[in-house]
Every structure is written in structure tokens, then in C-alpha cells.
Structure 1
């Protein structure tokens, strides 16, 4: 299976790489939402967030924090959006974190649907999650 992000890691595809170490590779998004939009990926191929090994995941978060500080300083952002998508919602089947510089009135947004959740649903879900997490998953 061909993966454009694996090709970037292997230097078989071009990218504006800004940082890499043994665990992660960070590069400018080819189709940015705003100038300075950066992708942080584990060097090892994982499709989903839940599959990523602990060392790679730690590095993804730690370098995302450093990149965020750099972007805020260099680009004088009004804020930063950090996000990732799983399942059918991701555009590349290689786990990646987006770091997106944000500005007032930059046009980027997501629409929050008007979802009503009943109290019983909150109680039931919180208990189910608590039990699942207590089992050590």
C-alpha cells in the first residue's frame, strides 16, 4: 500500500520538513488552512490514533507543543487549533496531527450541531466509560 506520508519520511516525496527525530516527522501541509499549517506524524505507519505506540504519541504531543510556541511567536497568531481525525474523517490513512495557526476572521470554523443529550444518557455513558477505563484499556 502506498502512503504519501511514509514516502515523505523515506525522502521519496518532497515536503517542507521543519523537524524530525527518531519518532516523528513534521512538515508544512501542502494544502494549508492558514499559512504555517503543520502536520506532525509518527515515522512509523499507523492508521489510527488508537494504534500509535506510546513513544511516538508522546513525541507527537511534545513536538506539537514546541511547534505551537514557535508559530505563535513567529506568525503572531490569535490562537492555534490542534486537531486530528480518525476513521473515515481523515484524508490520509496515516495518523497525523494538524497544527493550524488561527486569526480572528480567518474563515476557518466547524459547525456544532444542536444535539440534545438527556441526563440519563450522561449518567449511562459516564458509568460505561469509567468501567471500561478501570479495566485498564
Structure 2
């Protein structure tokens, strides 16, 4: 499997850096964003180091989208959100050059406007873990 030892997400996938993992599958991993737009903001990444969506191998496309669907459902079922915002940057505005899909819980009137993303930090690691637990339960 192709990995990049300098990539933050590859290091999270390898267990070298801490993260609140909510989905751990053979080809994909999802974890809570360290700087969430809203609490419960999840990043979905392929285990393999892939930089952009056009680089994603054909064999991973269906599984990647299916996992994104499950995460979008989990933020509603597990966190009580009314919906979700699902987004992905490719090269421009891509803070980590490893393909990642954002699943952000949304509630009407939450203040998210356009692409000006506020950041809502967790109070501490215990609160972050509680959000991770709720999402893992919703994912089954």
C-alpha cells in the first residue's frame, strides 16, 4: 500500500498520531477533525496515500462514497443534527495533501455561511471522545 511517512493523515491511519477514530475499515478510516467547524465534524480518508479525488483508484470509489453516506447518516442519528454538509477540496484549499472528505453536522441557524467556516473546538479530550463514541454507536 502506498503511504507517505511525512503525511499527517498517513501517520494517523498508521496509529502514529492520535485521533478519535470513528470508522476503521480495511480501505478507509474516518476520524474527528482536530479543528472542527462544528462538534462531530468527521474526515474520511483512504488508508492508501491518495492526494486528490481524481487520483482515487477505481476499486476504492464505491466504498469511499458508501462510507460517506454512512457518516452523513451517523451525524444525524448519532448527534441529533438536522443534516450534514459534505465537502472535499482538491489541491486548492486542501490543508493536508491526502484525499479527505469532510462530513459536518448541520442544524438550521448554525451560522455556517458559504465557505467561511467557523471553528468550534472541543472543551477537552473527554468531550471529543464522547462525540466519537456517539458516532461509533450510530455507525453500528
**Higher RCO, Cα 8 Å, sep 6+:** 2
Pair 1:16 & 2:34 matched: no
Equivalence map 1:56-95=2 (5 Å): 56-95=60-99
TM-score (norm 1): 0.76
TM-score (norm 2): 0.75
Unaligned stretches of 5+ in structure 2? 116-140
Structure of higher CA gyration radius: 1
Check the 8 A contact 2:72/2:83 in 1, yes or no.
Answer: no
Pair 1:108 & 2:112 matched: yes
Check the 8 A contact 1:83/1:98 in 2, yes or no.
Answer: yes
The whole-number CA distance in structure 1 between the counterparts of 2:55 and 2:78 is: 33
For the residue of structure 2 that corresponds to 1:41, the secondary structure is strand
Unaligned stretches of 5+ in structure 1? 112-137
Quote the offset at 1:26 in angstroms: 0.5
Aligned CA RMSD, in angstroms, stands at 1.2
Q: Report what 1:37 is aligned to.
A: 41
Quote the offset at 1:74 in angstroms: 1.8
User: Where has structure 1 moved over 4 Å in runs of 4 or more?
Assistant: none
The whole-number CA distance in structure 2 between the counterparts of 1:23 and 1:54 is: 13
